[in-house]
Amino acid sequence: MIFTIAIDGPAAAGKGTLARALAAHYGFAYLDTGLLYRAVGAGVLAGGEAVAVAQALDPSALDNADLRTQVVAEAASRVAVIPDVRAALVAFQRHFARRDGGAVLDGRDIGTVICPQADVKLFVTASAETRAERRYLELADKGVAADRDAILAEVVARDARDTGRAEAPLRAATDATVIDTSDLTAAQALSRALTIVDARRG
Ligand code: C5P
C-alpha cells in the first residue's frame, strides 16, 4: 500500500506535530525533511563544503538533538538555497514517500517538488507572531532562556529566505488544503487533517 501525505509550511507552524500525529494515527512512516537540510547546515558549520556534505549524507542517521538549535536552522536555510544541495537530497525523499505502508513527509517543497503526486497535500501555516510565541514557550518549557523579539525576527528572516529563493521556494501547491493553526489547538488541527485524509482514503 502506497499512500503519501505531503505537509508544507513555514517555520514553527505546527507541521511536525501534525505530521507525527498523522503518522501515528495511520501507522505510516514519518520523515522530517528539515533534518536533512539541518544536517547539511551543521556540516557546513563544522567546516564542510555544502554540496559535498549533502552528497555524502547518511539520511538514516539524523535524529540528533544538536540539529534542533536556531543556529543550525539558520545554517540549514542558507544551504537550502543551493540547487545542488537540494538535488542531492531528492532521491532519498522520493524513495521514502513511496515506501510500502504509507508515509508522511513535512518540509517546504514536498507537495510542489518532491511529491507532486502525493495523495494528500496540506499547507500548515500560522501568523508569524503565533509561531514565534509557540517557539518561545517551547524553549521556556525546556528551561532555555530566550528573547521573544529575537525569535520573531529569526522566524521572519528564515521565512523570507525560504519563500524568496529561486529553487523550490516555500509555497502551497495549487491543490493543497491550507490549515491555519493560529487559532487551533494541536488536537483541532489534527481533527481537520484526519477529515481530509479519510476522505481521500475512502
Ligand atoms: O523544517 P525545519 O525548520 O527543520 O527546516 C530547516 C530549514 O531547512 C528551512 O528553513 C528550509 O530552509 C530548509 N528546508 C527546505 N526544504 C525542506 C525542508 C527544510 O528548504 N523540504
Q: Which residue has the cell 497535500?
A: 121
Ligand 1 mutation target, pool 69, 89, 108, most atoms within 8 A of CB: 108
Q: What is the mean pLDDT of residues 38-48?
A: 97
Confidence class for position 60, pLDDT limits 50, 70, 90? confident
What 152-159 contacts at long range (C-beta under 8 Å, 24+ apart), as own/partner pairs, is: 152/128, 154/70, 154/73, 154/74, 155/10, 155/11, 155/12, 155/128, 155/131, 156/128, 158/10, 158/11, 158/73, 158/74, 158/77, 159/10, 159/11, 159/128
Condensed to tens digits (0 to 9), the pLDDT of residues 181-193 reads 999 999 999 999 9
pLDDT greater than 90 at residue 85: yes
Residue whose entry in the numeric block shows the C-alpha cell 540547487: 83
- pLDDT class for 62, splitting at 50, 70, 90? confident
Ordered by start, the domain boundaries in the chain are 4-196
Q: What pLDDT score was predicted for residue 138? A: 86
Which residues line ligand 1 at a C-beta cut-off of 6 Å? 11, 33-34, 37-38, 73, 76-77, 80, 107-110, 158, 162
CATH of domain 4-196: 3.40.50.300
> Residues 67-86: what's their mean pLDDT?
95
Helices of type H across the chain: 15-26, 34-45, 50-56, 70-79, 83-97, 128-141, 148-164, 186-201
